[in-house]
Amino acid sequence: MEESDKSIYNLRHDFSKSSLNETDVNSSPALQFDSWMKQTLDSKIEEALAMVLSTVNKEGQPSGRILYLREYGNDNFAFFTNYHSRKGEELIENNRASLTFFWRELERQVRIEGTVEKHSKEASDKYFYSRPYYSKIGAWSSPQSKVIKGRAELEGFVSDFDKRYQTEDVPRPEYWGGYILKANYYEFWQGRESRLHDRIAYTLQGENNWKVERLAP
């Protein structure tokens, strides 16, 4: 363990690509996020839409997992999943959650906090029917977050649903659909030299009124 500690102590990377100042950012965090997201997509960064969704259960135990942002705008951020999964169950117990994006190539991070509610049936249908065939089959086949006997059992579920739906459109399971995180806090992080990073936070105060502050790194 000590030898491993020594080897990772020296793994360092300084940040120097850009800066972030209060005068640079948009007064709207939603528009600031849109600007950074567009720059990220224009830069052809892999997995630009990947984000960590963090939830907390009723006992206060946090958990995080990586999934994809599928819609955003007006301080709303949408993702889709199995409602019976661990994250789905935790969101029933506690609907407060956070999203974290990290774009290494641009030395940027965005944290977004807020409350989560289910997306509309229409939006869930629209996204589900846009998915590839086997992604739809996968939604039926996986009892997400539940204990299974092995890979063979999962592949058996896939085979069964493949046979069932191969000649018809795959319907959306009632237990699968979208969520929207409604943001009440944003933090934009730009890496800087000597770990003196730029951090600009937006906190919602009242309806659509955002307080903008610089945080110490």
* pLDDT of 90 over the 90 cut: yes
Residue-number span of the structural domain to which 123 is assigned = 13-132+174-215
Q: Does any domain span residue 82?
A: yes
Q: Does any domain span residue 24?
A: yes
From 19-28, 65-74, 196-205, the region with the lowest mean pLDDT: 19-28
Q: Does any domain span residue 62?
A: yes
Residue 111 structure tokens: 């944290």
Highest mean pLDDT (candidates 21-25, 60-64, 153-157, 163-167): 60-64
Give the closest residue to 95 by CA, choosing from 76, 118, 77. Answer: 118
The total of structural domains in the chain comes to 1
Banded pLDDT at 8 (limits 50, 70, 90)? low
Banded pLDDT at 10 (limits 50, 70, 90)? low
Q: Does any domain span residue 42?
A: yes
* CATH number assigned to the domain comprising residue 40: 2.30.110.10
Q: Does any domain span residue 192?
A: yes
Supply the residues annotated as catalytic.
195
Q: Does any domain span residue 6?
A: no
Q: What is the pTM of this model?
A: 0.90
Give the span between the Cα atoms of 97 and 117, in whole angstroms.
10
In the prediction, which pLDDT does 14 show? 58
Q: Does any domain span residue 196?
A: yes
